Structure formats: structure tokens, C-alpha cells
Amino acid sequence: MKFEQYNISPKIKKSLAEAGFRRPTDIQFKAIPHIMDGEDVLAIAQTGTGKTAAFVIPVLNAILENTFRSGLKCLVMVPTRELALQITEVFKGIAKYTDLKIMSLMGGVEQDSQIDNLKQHQDVLVSTPGRMFDMLNQGYLDLTDVDTLILDEADVMLDLGFYNDIQGVITHLKRTRQTLFFSATIDKKIKTLAYSIVNKPVRIQISPKDPVSKNVHHAVTYIKQDDKRFFLERVVKENPDSKILVFVRTKVRAERVLKAMGRVNIIAQTIHGGKEQSDREDALNNFRKGIIKMLIATDVSARGIDIDNVEFVINYDLPDKSENYVHRVGRTGRGNNKGKAISFCSEEEKPVLFEIESFLDNRIEVLEISKGDYIQTIEFSDIENETDWKSLIKEDDKFNAEKKINKKKLVQERKKKKTRDKLKKKKTDKNKGKRKG
């Protein structure tokens, strides 16, 4: 079945045709009819399968059919700023021939312009939980008219500690809403959350036995931790025209790898939670446009990176959680494109590799490196072998210490904010009582 045969607005069909959407993917084919019928949906689909368009198309069509209603009609909750921007662009692209207003709401940027936009009529809001609750508490956001709630990448939101925030937003929505729940992985926590907010959902699961795209060729090679930078340099120099996405474990390691590549004149940028939002957007745009060929990222950013023609995903560090492997490698081999995922595995990471293979229910092909080739890679590297490792260790210790202090400050600030909100509410309720009296 082609999109032109769907009973959707001609305006949507026009934008889909221009964007090259001809036939629906599996998740789109299975989800769109149920969403158009107003049913709740619980969808488990691997990354790169087109699940964003699976909810964008029917939701926009429903809004167009009810343009007589004012107020915000659709709320999309996502875990990261990058994902919020990405989904907003998909909404805007498919709605380009309509008059619908769509905006993203996230932290890391000044809220004044966001407040101005919220004061205008918005049809769709794509938001991260933190900034959304800020706007709700300040009275700039009204969710009472929302017909559709969409939770995308819900498992990441749980990992980031947004369970209570998700439950909290439900209290601001009407009971008769439609709820769409999308995730790439599912476990007991996800099921508990999902079934607490959906009503008799249609469950859709795509490729449950193969959580990663068949377009991705997986391989692992065994490399000592301190030698990984030499082999990354080799991959880049052997594939100078390829877009390469590198995943590391921490912010500090991201910056460390960036410096190592800089020493051999390989231009790259980093994207992680410690960067300003403008810097993160700059890095993504430069990578998307091909201005830089390498982007170094942490797991928090993995699901917000939706960039065409990423030929390689390099797992410089194996992820802490085996399911994060799925989200990392899902950045390549998207759509009909082929991709390669290469993992650098040190001796101490072998237990993690075993967990990943168990999660995938499949062995990952091992790329054997001969002793001579291994030595040659290091000897011919332009990276200076003499490194002040003591200073790097001190840098890492300093970062971890600062991280603990900042986390403590954040917890204290949240407690203070809750106390201020309670006092403010108490004062407001008291004033209301006086006026009634």
C-alpha cells in the first residue's frame, strides 16, 4: 500500500511525496491505522525504522480534521534536547503545507522566547520534562485541551529518572486522551509505566528477535584500552570521506578522544550533556552537512542523532547497558542505507560484550588483528606516544568530584524549588479563600 492510497489530508500527502515517502515501513503500516482510529498504542520498534513518522502522520491528520478546536492538541514528551529538535523538524516537514503551529520546548536555552511562542496558538508541543514542568508551574502552559499524549524513547526517560515527571503530567491531562507509547526496548519497568497510562492499547512489536537493523554489519575487535586512539585514527584515515559517529562512556573521555584526534589533525566535535545547547546544535549541524566527518558522543545523546549517511558507528567504549548498544548502532544503516558498527573491546570490557551478545541473541563477528598489524598501527600513528597519564587521571578524578558536588547541589535545589512551590500554592489557596470570604 502506498501513502497516496491512505485516507489522509492532501496537504500531508504532498509533503510526504516531496520528502520521498512512497510506501510505509513496517511500524508505519501497523501503527498508522490504529492511531487514525483513535486507539492507544504501545509500540516497540528498533531505531531507524521510521517510528517518528508513524505517529506524526496520523496525529497531524487528526488535528487537521478538527481545526475548529483551539488550544494545544498534541504533547510529545522526549528525554533529550536533540530528540526534541529532531521530532519537531519531522512534524514541521510533514506539516509544511498546513497552517499548524509546532514548537519544541527544552532547557539549555533562554525561556523568554519560548514563553512568547507559548502565548501564541500552538497545535503541537515537543518537550523535555524539565522545561515543560517549569512552564506549567509558572502558568505559561495549559494542557487541558490536549487530545494526544506521545511518549517517545520512554525507556531513556526512565533511565534519566523522569518516572515521576511522566506520572505528574498525567494529572494535567484529560482522561479521554489518546496515548501513544514508543520505545526501542522493553522491560518490566517500561511495561509498568506503559500500562499505567494507556487504555487497552494495541501492542505492536517490530523485529523482537533482532533489535537492530539488518542493514548494519556488526564487528568487534580486541584492543587494549590505551591503544584505542591509534585504531580510531586508522579507521578515519582509511575512510576519509565517510561520516563516522564515535561513542564513548563519559564526557571527559569524549573531550580526551577529541584532543587525541586533534593531535593528528583529524577535525571532530563532541556532543554530550556538559555542552551548551548552542554548541550541541552546532556540532550536529556541522556533522549533518559534512563540514566535520567525525562526531564524538555519549549515550545520552545517542537517540537524538538522526543524520543521513552515517557510514560508521565506532563503539570506542562499550556501553554500560547492553540495550544502549542498540541505540548507538541504530544511528547507521537507517532506511535503505547500509552501515557498519565496529566495537573496540578491551580485556576488561569482555563481560560487557558477552551481555550485549546475550541481549542480541547473536554473536558479533570478531575482526582479528595480527600481532604485526597491531604493532604497525601504533608505530605509524601520528599520535605522540608519550602522554602525561598522571595529569589525565587527575583530570578524571577532578571531573568525578565536581560531578558529585553538582549532583548534590541539583538535589538540594530541587528540594528548595518544591518547598517554594508548596508555599506559593498555599499562599494562593489562602488568598482565594479570603476572596471567597
pLDDT of residue 219: 94
pLDDT of residue 433: 63
pLDDT of residue 208: 47
In this prediction, residue 386 has a pLDDT band, given cuts at 50, 70 and 90, of very low
Whether the pLDDT of residue 417 is over 90: the answer is no
pLDDT, tens digit, 9 for 90 and up, residues 345-381: 999 999 999 999 888 888 899 999 999 999 999 988 8
In this prediction, residue 430 has a pLDDT band, given cuts at 50, 70 and 90, of low
The number of residues making up the chain comes to: 437
Cβ contact 344:312 at 8 Å: no
Higher pLDDT, 352 or 399: 352
Closest CA to 247 of 321, 184, 196: 321
Which residues of 11-134 form beta strands (DSSP E)? 41-44, 74-77, 102-105, 124-127
Whether the pLDDT of residue 384 is over 80: the answer is no
Q: What percent of the chain has pLDDT over 70?
A: 85
Closest CA to 381 of 255, 228, 254, 240: 228
Average pLDDT along the chain: 85
Q: What percent of the chain has pLDDT over 90?
A: 47
pLDDT of residue 391: 53
Whether the pLDDT of residue 403 is over 70: the answer is no
pLDDT, tens digit, 9 for 90 and up, residues 110-130: 889 999 999 888 999 999 988
pLDDT, tens digit, 9 for 90 and up, residues 203-245: 998 764 555 667 889 999 999 999 999 999 999 999 999 999 9
d(CA 113, CA 120): 11
Whether the pLDDT of residue 266 is over 70: the answer is yes
Q: What is the mean pLDDT of residues 426-430?
A: 67
Q: What is the mean pLDDT of residues 99-112?
A: 90
Cβ contact 382:229 at 8 Å: no
Whether the pLDDT of residue 246 is over 60: the answer is yes
Secondary structure (3-state) at 366: strand
In this prediction, residue 308 has a pLDDT band, given cuts at 50, 70 and 90, of confident
